[in-house]
């Protein structure tokens, strides 16, 4: 049998049906707290439970396109604002009993977005919200989405260390203090303002000055801050390491 005959005789239905979905762990920062995009499922399985936005991959889109489509559907975002959202593949979850319907393999993605409008529930959901991640523990999540979220949060914390992706939580122009607030929010503890400031400016390509400053000082006083935009570095050298956590090492 040559290659052409083989392809002609080939029937995909001979293989066991596996469904492939994409799920999105979308993070943003609102009111100084890290928030996560969740939908409430309208249909079984897990109807009424909170879940990550996601769904079956369509025949005409690759995995990243599917994830971006799901994100667009739930956030109502499009165009330039959607394109500015950072999206990366997180990991793939393929346990045997993830979904009671059939074997479902889910390719999870991770998204970083600046503060966005309240989401609108798409057809497969009856509600959609930005939920503070601190409120997660009390929620019953569908499927293994709790595990996926944990992995996404850890990836996010780690990515801030060695990439400039913290800037993706901010508007194109930002102050060093706003950037520090992103780190403090994602890592969950305060950083030394002076040392952070010097460190950020010393890493080549992390930020570049716009020459401008904010219109006003801080709400409770203080000078106007200089404005920066993201630089051209894709990795931070040297990295901004999280304060060492002995526990997590072993």
Asked if 147 is part of the footprint of DNA (rule: CB under 7 A), the reply reads no
Residue entry with tokens 């260390």: 161
Q: Cβ 34 to its own copies, closest distance in Å?
A: 23
Interaction partner, residue 195 (DNA, its own copies, none; CB < 5-8 Å by kind): DNA
Q: Which does 83 bind (CB under 5 to 8 A by kind): its own copies, DNA, none?
A: none
Omega cis (within 30) before 45? yes
Residues at the interface with its own copies (CB under 8 A): 1-3, 6-7, 10, 12-13, 15-20, 43-45, 47, 56-63, 89, 91-92, 94-96, 100-103, 105, 107, 204-205, 232-235, 237, 244, 248-250
Residue with tokens 């390509």: 205
Cβ proximity to DNA: between 130 and 183 the closer is 183
User: Nearest-CA neighbor of 71 among 60, 90, 87?
Assistant: 87
Smallest distance from the beta carbon of 4 to DNA, in angstroms? 54
The item of DNA, its own copies, none sharing an interface with residue 233, based on CB under 5 to 8 Å by kind, is: its own copies
Q: Between the CA atoms of 46, 49, 51 and 53, what dihedral angle is there, to the nearest 10 degrees?
A: 80
Taking the C-alpha atoms of residue 233 and residue 206, their distance in angstroms, rounded to an integer, is 6
Binding test (CB under 7 A) with DNA, winner from 146, 225, 229, 231: 225
For residues 94 and 218, which CB has a smaller minimum distance to its own copies in the complex?
94
Residue range at the interface with DNA (CB under 7 A); choices 37-45, 77-85, 121-129, 216-224: 216-224
Residue 196 and residue 189 in contact, taking contact as beta carbons nearer than 8 Å: no
d(CA 180, CA 186): 10
Neighbouring C-beta atoms of residue 241, cutoff 10 Å: 9
User: Per rule CB under 7 A, is residue 217 in the interface with DNA?
Assistant: yes
Nearest to 113 by CA among 74, 84, 133: 84
Tokens 């409008």 belong to residue = 117
Least separation in angstroms between CB 47 and its own copies: 6
Residue from 175, 182, 185, 230 touching DNA (CB under 7 A): that is: 175
Tell me whether residue 85 is exposed, middle or buried, using C-beta atoms within 10 angstroms of its C-beta: 0 to 12, 13 to 18, 19 or more. Answer: buried
Site residues, DNA (CB under 7 A): 175-177, 192-195, 197-199, 201-202, 213, 216-226, 238-241, 243
């Amino acid at each position: 049998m040559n290659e052409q005959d083989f392809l002609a005789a080939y029937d995909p239905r001979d293989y066991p049906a596996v469904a492939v979905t994409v799920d999105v762990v979308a993070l943003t920062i609102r009111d100084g707290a890290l928030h996560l995009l969740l939908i409430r499922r309208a249909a079984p399985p897990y109807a009424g439970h909170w879940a990550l936005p996601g769904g079956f991959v369509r025949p005409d889109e690759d995995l990243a396109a599917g994830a971006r489509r799901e994100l667009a559907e739930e956030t109502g975002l499009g165009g330039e604002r959607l394109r500015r959202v950072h999206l990366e593949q997180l990991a793939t979850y393929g346990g045997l009993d993830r979904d009671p319907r059939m074997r479902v393999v889910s390719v999870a993605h991770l998204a970083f977005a600046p503060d966005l409008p309240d989401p609108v529930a798409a057809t497969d959901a009856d509600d959609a919200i930005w939920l503070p991640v601190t409120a997660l523990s009390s929620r019953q999540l569908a499927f293994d989405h709790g595990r996926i979220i944990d992995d996404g949060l850890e990836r996010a914390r780690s990515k801030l260390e060695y990439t400039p992706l913290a800037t993706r939580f901010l508007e194109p122009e930002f102050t060093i203090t706003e950037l520090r607030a992103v780190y403090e929010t994602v890592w969950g503890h305060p950083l030394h303002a002076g040392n952070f400031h010097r460190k950020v400016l010393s890493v080549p390509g992390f930020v570049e000055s716009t020459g401008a400053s904010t219109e006003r000082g801080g709400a409770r006083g203080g000078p106007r801050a200089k404005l920066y935009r993201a630089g051209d570095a894709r990795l931070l050298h040297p990295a901004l390491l999280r304060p060492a956590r002995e526990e997590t090492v072993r």
